[in-house]
């Protein structure tokens, strides 16, 4: 008897597993917020150079005299028939300057300014306004977002692999503590370098929370409900985005906003006390006593009586230790599958985060844009739950990636020819996020089911590393719309995101289907997974038939007749 069979006996997804899955998912709300909060705490409001020797200068025009001083001090250009003031330069002081009828210098030279005033109509303050991270420092917010994704990269690799050695639960505690320290500590940073360092550490914490919590969630339930636990995690992550939009709308000061989303994370220590170690990890480590204790706790929580002889027939591997992650590259088949998984994690993360970051560049109300982009994820996850067991993981993933890419590319038309109807662009972007959210949910499930237990957390962590590289690239692609001199600069992000998603979705067609298959425990079992049928084109599905210790995949009937 295997662990999946034992879970079927004591409850695949009983009250106890449901409680644990909710508990491990709650901190994902905080992780989601901290990953993307830079959109608001480092928002760049409209600004201009401060008028020298005017202590009460403001961005808003106070009176005619103030307007006159602005005209005399700040250069301007004409764009589409409208005067646009320069954000980074002031006129050089000179004794021999003549002025036009609007009190503007004629043929005067200009120079870079050193201080600025900011528009406070949207935000009372941000890290950008506090540290003057504009003009030559305008990439600061992009670098800050890259820092957290860089931390995500380091955390996913280091903590992901480490949890295969010392256990999921210990890494979860380390991640919780680090998240508390870094999120609250962000409000005390004195300058940008310190901010980048603490954001990097915050990324490590978020990677540990997300990767380890996800793995615990799928390793504690039976095969029938793995897809629910995988997607349940995404609901909490999406709720973090929606919650952030609401909090940012209500709290316009960056320090208070950061504290509002950080202080609740202290309660995660209490949550950790109720989370058990992964029974699948304990089994792989040969820790029979602790394994049986956890399984009895699951059975008791599910209201199932456990026979003393229940564990006697369980296949238990004494003293089996984790193997190096590179072992997957000793197999040509697993190498190809792994590379495709890594590519898709890179692309899905780049486009997923890129669409969220770029939502504030689309025009209109940035809070509503971000809210709708986050809200689009909920129906995507509901749809995944409804159809992922009917058509399989691979068809859902590939279709959503390709449709998401097409949606991004289609938004180019509305940007070019329907500029006055910004709602069309936002709608297409939201639909793109809907599809990418579905893709992100399913790639988690595919990765968790494809890699064997002995390297699963490390492999998912490594996959997450490629996702974080994509996340590091995303802010620079999104920022292209603000820095490129081309008149088509607004089109670049959507074009890059769309084409990448389409290409990655096509490559994913090579992957095997993992629907209704036992989680492989070692490399040999992972190699034996076959990619039979499970195509959205021929509507075939797979079922499991166990004979001894071997799992045979038998094609039973068409999808139309499957219950």
In a domain, 530, yes or no: yes
DSSP class per residue in 522-549: SHHHHHT----S--TTTTEEEEEEEETT
The pLDDT score that the predictor gives to residue 358 is 86
In a domain, 204, yes or no: yes
| Percentage of the chain modeled with pLDDT above 90 | 37
In a domain, 301, yes or no: no
Asked if residue 136 and residue 32 are part of one domain, the reply reads yes
The pLDDT score that the predictor gives to residue 4 is 79
Asked if residue 141 and residue 269 are part of one domain, the reply reads yes
In a domain, 413, yes or no: yes
Tokens representing residue 73 in the block: 């001090």
φ and ψ at 222, to 5 degrees?
-80, 170
Asked if residue 366 and residue 220 are part of one domain, the reply reads no
- E strand or H helix at 78, and its extent? strand 76-79
d(CA 199, CA 159): 17
Q: Which domain range does residue 472 map to?
A: 330-543
Arithmetic mean of pLDDT, 354-383 = 89
Name the domain boundary from 258, 286, 314: 286
- The domain spanning residue 514 has which CATH number? 1.20.1250.20
In a domain, 206, yes or no: yes
The neighbouring-strand residues paired with 78 are 83
Asked if residue 13 and residue 55 are part of one domain, the reply reads no
Output 360 or 328, whichever has higher pLDDT. 360
pLDDT in tens, 286-307: 888 898 888 889 989 988 887 7
Asked if residue 152 and residue 244 are part of one domain, the reply reads yes
pLDDT in tens, 443-489: 877 887 888 777 776 777 688 778 888 988 998 888 877 666 555 66
pLDDT in tens, 37-50: 999 999 889 999 99
Name the domain boundary from 119, 145, 171: 119
Asked if residue 181 and residue 93 are part of one domain, the reply reads no
Burial 402-421, CB ≥16 within 10 A → b, else e: bbbbbbbbbbbebbeeeeee
Asked if residue 139 and residue 102 are part of one domain, the reply reads no
The single-letter DSSP state of residue 511 is S
In a domain, 456, yes or no: yes
Asked if residue 422 and residue 371 are part of one domain, the reply reads yes
Total domains present in the chain: 3
Asked if residue 231 and residue 202 are part of one domain, the reply reads yes
Among 19-23, 66-70, 231-235, where is mean pLDDT lowest? 231-235
Q: Which long-range contacts (CB under 8 A, 24 or more apart) does 83-86 make?
A: 85/48, 86/48, 86/49, 86/110
In a domain, 422, yes or no: yes
Asked if residue 345 and residue 217 are part of one domain, the reply reads no
Among 206-215, 356-365, 523-532, where is mean pLDDT lowest? 523-532
pTM over 0.85: no
Asked if residue 145 and residue 112 are part of one domain, the reply reads no
Name the domain boundary from 286, 313, 345: 286
Asked if residue 135 and residue 114 are part of one domain, the reply reads no
In a domain, 517, yes or no: yes
Output 275 or 563, whichever has higher pLDDT. 275
Angle 268-270-273 from CA coordinates, rounded to 5°: 110
């Amino acid at each position: 008897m295997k662990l999946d069979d034992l879970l079927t006996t004591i409850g695949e997804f009983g009250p106890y597993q449901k409680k644990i899955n909710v508990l491990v998912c709650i901190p994902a709300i905080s992780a989601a917020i901290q990953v993307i909060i830079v959109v608001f705490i480092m928002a760049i409001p409209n600004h201009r150079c401060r008028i020298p020797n005017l202590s009460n200068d403001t961005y808003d025009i106070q009176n005619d005299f103030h307007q006159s001083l602005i005209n005399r001090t700040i250069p301007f250009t004409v764009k589409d028939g409208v005067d646009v003031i320069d954000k980074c330069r002031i006129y050089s002081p000179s004794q021999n300057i003549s002025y036009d009828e609007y009190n503007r210098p004629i043929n005067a030279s200009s120079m870079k300014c050193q201080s600025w005033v900011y528009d406070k109509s949207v935000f009372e303050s941000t890290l950008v306004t506090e540290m003057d991270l504009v003009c030559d420092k305008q990439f600061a917010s992009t670098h800050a977002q890259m820092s957290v994704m860089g931390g995500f990269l380091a955390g996913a690799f280091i903590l992901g692999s480490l949890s295969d050695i010392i256990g999921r639960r210990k890494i979860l505690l380390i991640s919780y503590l680090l998240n508390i320290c870094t999120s609250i500590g962000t409000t005390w940073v004195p300058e940008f370098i310190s901010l980048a360092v603490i954001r990097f550490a915050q990324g490590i914490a978020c990677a540990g929370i997300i990767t380890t919590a996800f793995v615990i969630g799928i390793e504690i339930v039976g095969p029938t409900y793995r897809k629910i636990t995988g997607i349940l995690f995404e609901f909490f992550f999406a709720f973090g985005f929606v919650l952030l939009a609401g909090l940012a709308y209500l709290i316009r000061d960056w320090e208070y906003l950061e504290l509002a989303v950080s202080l609740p994370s202290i309660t995660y220590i209490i949550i950790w006390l109720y989370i058990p170690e992964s029974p699948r990890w304990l089994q792989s480590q040969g820790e029979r006593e602790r394994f049986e204790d956890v399984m009895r706790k699951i059975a008791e929580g599910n209201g199932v009586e456990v026979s003393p002889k229940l564990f006697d027939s369980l296949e238990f591997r004494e003293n089996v230790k984790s193997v190096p992650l590179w072992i997957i590259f000793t197999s040509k088949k697993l190498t190809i599958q792994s590379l495709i998984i890594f590519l898709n994690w890179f692309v899905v993360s780049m486009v997923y985060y890129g669409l969220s970051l770029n939502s504030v560049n689309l025009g209109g109300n940035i809070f509503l844009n971000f809210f709708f982009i986050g809200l689009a994820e909920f129906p995507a996850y509901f749809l995944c739950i409804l159809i992922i067991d009917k058509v399989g993981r691979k068809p859902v993933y590939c279709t959503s990636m390709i449709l998401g890419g097409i949606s991004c590319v289609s938004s180019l038309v509305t940007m070019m020819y329907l500029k006055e109807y910004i709602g069309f662009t936002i709608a297409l972007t939201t639909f793109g996020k809907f599809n990418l959210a579905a893709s992100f949910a399913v790639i988690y499930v595919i990765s968790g089911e494809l890699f064997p237990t002995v390297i699963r957390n490390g492999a998912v962590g490594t996959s997450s590393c490629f996702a974080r590289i994509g996340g590091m690239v995303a802010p620079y692609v999104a920022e292209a719309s603000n820095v490129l001199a081309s008149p088509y600069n607004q089109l670049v992000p959507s074009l890059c995101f769309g084409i990448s998603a389409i290409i990655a979705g096509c490559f994913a067609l090579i992957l095997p289907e993992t629907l209704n298959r036992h989680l492989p425990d070692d490399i040999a079992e992972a190699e034996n997974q076959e990619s039979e049928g499970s195509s959205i084109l021929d509507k075939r599905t797979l079922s499991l038939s166990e004979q001894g210790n071997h799992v045979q995949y038998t094609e039973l009937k068409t999808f139309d007749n499957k219950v």
